[in-house]
Structure 1
């Protein structure tokens, strides 16, 4: 093997290691832990559990000077990040415990949610953009959950995230 292909392999390996180390699931979130950090057998979120908390946060943001739409989209962005953090936490836990199938399912969930908050961040206060971003993430979660369900005997692990995104989408419509 010549020096050039060997150097390319070394660069590829180091790039792969660097990208894996930079993945959000490998890092503990800074600040307090998410309020609803789901465990391996977490139940689906219920609207009456989370909407009052989000409504209080929305009111605080409005009191700090945001418009109602800006506050609503910010709350939705925070809620989506909590769901992401919960799945990243599950992924780390499953990896630590050596549960590869569950870790793969959590990784699929993270991939399905990837990028859902970016349009919300880029267009603060735009409820239509926020609803569209959440809806796309829900469709990806549903589609990938069906595919995962075909591959494993367990219940759909992405259903919980899909339900949470649906509640967030409904929260945008409350006025």
Structure 2
């Protein structure tokens, strides 16, 4: 049924037209599948694991001890997340979007613990794992608070959380011993 604009009375619609409209509402492009977001997150996590492993192999190939190479991978990844947030913050401030800039400032404060701690303790995997886990939890908590206060969600938070989850997994999983 449609409505006549002048009288606001329902206007009968032919059956074929009604079926076409229902079909358009049910079209797959109108849905965001939870499965597809999970597969995207899984794909991103796998890409990050592969990237961390390649960086680890490169660092150990250059003669860095195994534990120091793993904490160095964590330091590099955390620094990239920090640099990404800082660049976005500068862009938002330049464009005059203060609300978005404030959200990114909160993100930078959330991960400050990891960017300061990792260079101080090279080779200490337990400490690095705790620092990365703390940063991840702070990002999740602060991101949740900001989402409740400001309804538009910043995808940088979710990307950083995914990076820190993969990094935490990389630091805490046992590395195979070389023969």
The structure that has the greater radius of gyration is 2
Q: Which residue of the partner structure matches residue 63 of structure 1?
A: 61
Range with bigger deviation, 58-67 or 70-79? 58-67
Q: TM-score, normalised by structure 1?
A: 0.70
Q: Which residue of the partner structure matches residue 110 of structure 1?
A: 108
Q: Give CA-to-partner distance per residue, 1:90-145, whole Å, 9 cap, x none.
A: 10111111111111111110010113132221111111000000111111111111
- For these two proteins, the number of residue pairs brought into alignment is 133
- Structure 1 unaligned runs (5+)? 1-42
Alignment root-mean-square deviation, CA: 1.8
Q: Which residue of the partner structure matches residue 151 of structure 2?
A: 153
Q: Which residue of the partner structure matches residue 125 of structure 2?
A: 127
Structure 1 residue 163, shift from structure 2 partner: 1.7
Structure 1 residue 156, shift from structure 2 partner: 5.0
Q: TM-score, normalised by structure 2?
A: 0.69
Q: Which ranges of 4 or more aligned residues in structure 1 deviate by more than 4 Å? A: none
Structure 1 residue 46, shift from structure 2 partner: 1.3
- Of 118, 130, 137, which residue of structure 2 is paired with 1:139? 137
For 1:169 and 1:96, the matched residues in 2 are separated by: 34
For 1:95 and 1:117, the matched residues in 2 are separated by: 23
